[in-house]
Structure 1
Amino acid sequence: MIYTVECNFADPDSEAEWNLFYSLQKLPALISVSGFHTSQRFKALSNDCPDYLALHSIDNLHVLLSDEYRHNGGGNFARWQQHITDWQRNLYGGLDRAPAIDTDHYLVVSTIGPEPLIDAGLRPYPLHAVALDRHPEQSWLAMLDRPLVFGAGVHVYRPMAEQLTSSRDE
């Protein structure tokens, strides 16, 4: 399953420090949780969506409800919480593993259907919401080798780092 977290960060003075925390502490802590397989974080190039997106491959919803997740991965945002806005979490079925997006490629997410991705010559991967916020109900992911401009409902992201993979999956 694909676990997504989207948000904005409202304090430009501490945003760089927050990004370091997220990349160097938060993602490694998450990937250490049993049931997490991959994690990757992205920054939006589109203006009509939250600035940050994290994609995680996990086994199922029970992973997010576990004590291990609460203690090692989830909920350690206390210092940053006041600056995190537009926070949304979804759990999607449709893919077992999130695609690894190299730092010289881009992730495209469509919430309006696969057609804009297909029209751009991309291969969309369908996702359907099964838990948490469940909005949008459906999304399609694709990898892009250069940034393109799409219309409303299609968002382009650049990877902030390579995808992390659990040592259990290597």
Structure 2
Amino acid sequence: MIYTVECSFTDQAAENEWNAFYSDEKLPALISVKGFLTSQRFRLSGGIPSTPTYLAIHTIANEGVLESADYHQNGGGNFAKWQPMITDWHRNIYGGVELFPDVANDQRLLISNESSDALNALGFQALHLWAIGLDRTPIERWVAIPGNLPDPAHHLKADGVCVYVPMRSQLRSDST
């Protein structure tokens, strides 16, 4: 299962500290939780203007992981300091991919919430995800991971495709 967390951040003066916290503390804490298999974080580079700026994608063993004491103690919900600055926060669980692929620093993550058509027209093989838990919006997503894509990729905006840049390498648990 794929667990996604999306948000925007409103305080530019604190944004570097927020990113350091999320990437250097939050993701390693999450990957230590039993049932978290992979974690990677992305920043929006181009696409639909109303899209949240940040996206974290985690592979989890099952939905119960998010209800576990381990999750609540070591990873979930420790945003109190940052909560007033977080907007457009969405969480979803998707089926369709067993283990989310690593997106290397020279690659981009392309996401369409409409269909695979735009990604296929660009020559990319799209992975299909469908919502099975939490917010369940968008209900479906199509993702592709091309390499060496220009950044920002303005020509993709008209196609309803969002372009994300990896903020760090994918973390993997010892059990993957």
Interval of TM-score (by shorter of Structure 1 and Structure 2): over 0.9
Distance 1:155 1:99 in 2: 17
C-alpha distance in structure 1 between counterparts of 2:71 and 2:142, whole Å:
27
How far did 1:152 drift? 5.4
Instruction: Quote the Cα distance in structure 1 between the aligned partners of 2:3 and 2:112.
Output: 16
Unaligned runs of 5+ in 1: none
Alignment of 1:128-139 (within 5 A): 128-139=130-141
Residue of structure 2 aligned with 1:158, choices 149, 165, 176: 165
Question: Which residue in the other structure is 2:70 paired with?
Answer: 68
- 2:84 and 2:146 map into 1 onto residues whose CA distance is 34
Query: Which blocks of at least 5 consecutive residues in structure 2 are unaligned?
Result: none
Q: Is the 8 A contact 2:113 2:142 kept in 1?
A: yes
Alpha-carbon displacement from aligned partner over 1:32-67 (angstroms, at most 9, x marks no partner): 000000000000012521100000000111000111
Aligned-partner Cα distance in 2 for 1:71–1:138: 31
> Within 1, Cα distance between the matches of 2:20 and 2:159?
30
Q: Counterpart of 2:105?
A: 103
1-structure distance, mates of 2:87, 2:159? 21
Residue among 89, 104, 115 paired with 1:113: 115
Q: In the TM superposition, what is the alpha-carbon distance from 1:168 to its structure 2 partner? A: 2.3
- TM-score, structure 1 normalization: 0.96
Which of 155, 170, 175 matches 1:168? Answer: 175
Matched residue, 2:2: 2
| In 2: Cα distance, 1:7 partner to 1:153 partner | 19
Q: How many matched pairs?
A: 169
**Hey, what does 1:83 align to over in structure 2?**
85
TM-score by length of 2: 0.93
Letter in 1 for 2:9: F
What amino acid does structure 2 have at the position aligned with 1:22? Y
| RMSD over equivalenced CA pairs, Å | 1.0
Kindly, what percent of the aligned residue pairs are identical? 50
